[in-house]
Amino acid sequence: MASTRFRSDRGLTARMSTVMLLLGALYVAVVVGLIFAFPGSIATIIVIAVLIGVGQWYFSDKIATLAMRAREVAPEQAPELHGMIDRLCALADMPKPRVAIADTDVPNAFATGRSPKHSVVCVTTGIMRRLDPDELEGVLSHELSHVAHRDVAVMTIAGFLGVCAGLVMRWGFFFGGGRRDNNNNAMPIMLMIWLGSILVYFISFLLTRVLSRYRELCADRSGAYLTGKPSALASALTKVTGEIARIPTKDLRSEQAFNAFMFAPAFNKESVMTLFSTHPSLDKRLEQLAEISADLSRPSA
Amino acid sequence: MGLLKSIFGGRSDPPKANLDNLFAVPSAAVTLEASSGFKSTGVAAVCYRAAEGGAFASTQHDVQELLDMDAGPKVERSTDEFGFTWLLCRKDPSDISSLITDVHAVNSTLENAGFGSALLCSLVVFADDTRRFGLVYLYKQGTFYPFAPKPNQQRDNALELQVRAELGGDLPIEPALTRWMAVWGAPGLS
């Protein structure tokens, strides 16, 4: 008797799982390759990368709030925001995260933290000013879904290999040097590691971005089902992404010199942009929300 | 379920409502009256999140029609400042079982139409000569907690803890105090 209108998107889950498997396979390949190829110096790099990864994950809430210069607010300071999150958490049956506000006019919001119990949801004053309560609620439910899905842990693990490879790319020569300098084979081997890590970095970068886009779609989906108002989230997205998209353009134009280092403008193709972005395109997100809206409107049996 | 399911995005499946424990309220009301003199005021309200679209609107219409069929005051519908909808039922204060039946009817109708995940809480209002509080039922947990508002958005925590002690034997009381959500502006309480 207890039916639900929620339909899980099996295709999305399947695609996401495939990406996770590919990343896992890449890990295994890299680790096995390292064990066979190098005893010794590589271990240092891995230890450093593990420390970075664990640190980023463990302190993710602190790092992010510091970076955004956000301040945590008590229920008395922001009663409306707290009330909204209280209710969404009760609806979603999850522990309430801490709430923070960042004093900037850029409309944005994020959620981070090592576990649902140690999370913080942050909104900027800009987003609160631009969105009406329904839309803000849609954004908050999207962020709370990230918390419930443990996206910080997932993305930290997913990005870990990239951090490793990036370290080797930058510092590999220093680590690899040292005692083996008198060995004639040392230079070519280091070059191979270096090229290999560039390749690994590139592949893991692409896979991580794909995964990130799937996680965003997932969060949109569960957020929309949570509030029952996919259209409010859709309208929030059009407002926010529209404005976010405009602001960076201004900044980049004022820094002409920097433009040379960015290859996206050189291609100037949407497909390239999509491949490298952490968020799915607005069209794709709106399309999914429209489907959910149709789903909610279909007559009861 | 747990970790794996949440990592693979399965947590997006909204938790289902649990309606069973509602029927324990009438016997708890007897206990409450005997121990501290609080009586049901004959007022109860259901709080839910209205979804967009025609399906929800027609379900909501059906619920109101169903409850208005019997004699007595009509159901009152209101929307609070957070955009949640409250359906307020009034019955004779002595007849708490039919009040609970009405509350249950709202819930099961929404659930059958596929909107069970939209239910937030139900609230039954109790009062003595001077004070009043709402006994709140959390669907997703299947637990109860008392909410006693005072003027200026203050809560009468002493009264709430007293009620918790008295009803602990009759009802499953929400153990996590952080889940004792304040429902300011709930109809029937102010």
* pLDDT tens per residue, range A182-222: 555 666 777 777 787 788 888 888 888 888 888 888 888 88
CA distance B187 to chain A (A): 16
Which pLDDT score is estimated for A254? 41
Considering only residues 280 to 299 of chain A, which have any Cβ-Cβ distance to chain B shorter than 8 Å? 293, 296-299
> Looking at the predicted structure, is the pLDDT value of residue B165 above 50?
yes
Scan residues 186-245 of A and list those with Cβ closer than 8 Å to B: 215, 218, 221-222, 225-232
Which of the residue ranges A202-206, A246-250, A273-277 would you say has the lowest mean pLDDT?
A246-250
Any B CB within 8 A of A10 CB: no
By three-state DSSP, how is residue B6 classified? helix
pLDDT in tens, B169-189: 888 998 888 888 888 888 888
In tens, the pLDDT along A5-20 reads: 555 666 777 777 788 7
pLDDT (tens digit per residue) in A25-55: 777 777 777 666 665 666 676 777 778 778 7
What is the pLDDT of chain B when averaged over all its residues?
85
Q: Please tell me which of A32-46, A112-126, A149-163 the model is most confident about, judged by mean pLDDT.
A: A112-126
DSSP chain A: ----S----HHHHHHHHHHHHHHHHHHHHHHHHHHHH-SSTHHHHHHHHHHHHHHHHHTHHHHHHHHTTEEE--TTT-HHHHHHHHHHHHHHT-PPPEEEEE--SS--EEEEESSGGGEEEEEEHHHHHHS-HHHHHHHHHHHHHHHHTTHHHHHHHHHHHHHHHHHHHHHHHHHH-GGGGGSTTHHHHHHHHHHHHHHHHHHHHHHHHHHHHHHHHHHHHHHHHHHT-HHHHHHHHHHHHHHHHHHHHHHHHH-HHHHTT-SHHHH--HHHHHHH-SS--HHHHHHHHHHHHHHHHSPP-
- pTM listed for this prediction: 0.79
Q: Hey, which of A79-83, B144-148, B177-181 has the most confident mean pLDDT?
A: B144-148
Instruction: Say whether pLDDT at A116 is over 70.
Output: yes
How far apart (Å, rounded) are the C-alpha atoms in residues A192 and B21? 66
pLDDT bin (cut points 50, 70, 90) of residue A266 is: very low
Residue B1: per-residue pLDDT? 41
Interface check A92 vs B, CB under 8 A: yes
| B135 to A12, A147, A169, B21, B155: CA distances (angstroms) | 41, 30, 62, 13, 14
Q: Is the pLDDT of residue A286 over 80?
A: yes
In DSSP terms, A122 is beta-bridged to A100, A110
Whether A1 has its CB under 8 Å from any CB of chain B: the answer is: yes
Mean pLDDT, chain A, integer: 75
Rounded to whole angstroms, how far apart are CA atoms A226 and A220? 10
Look up A137 and say whether it is catalytic: no
Can you give the pLDDT at residue A256? Answer: 37
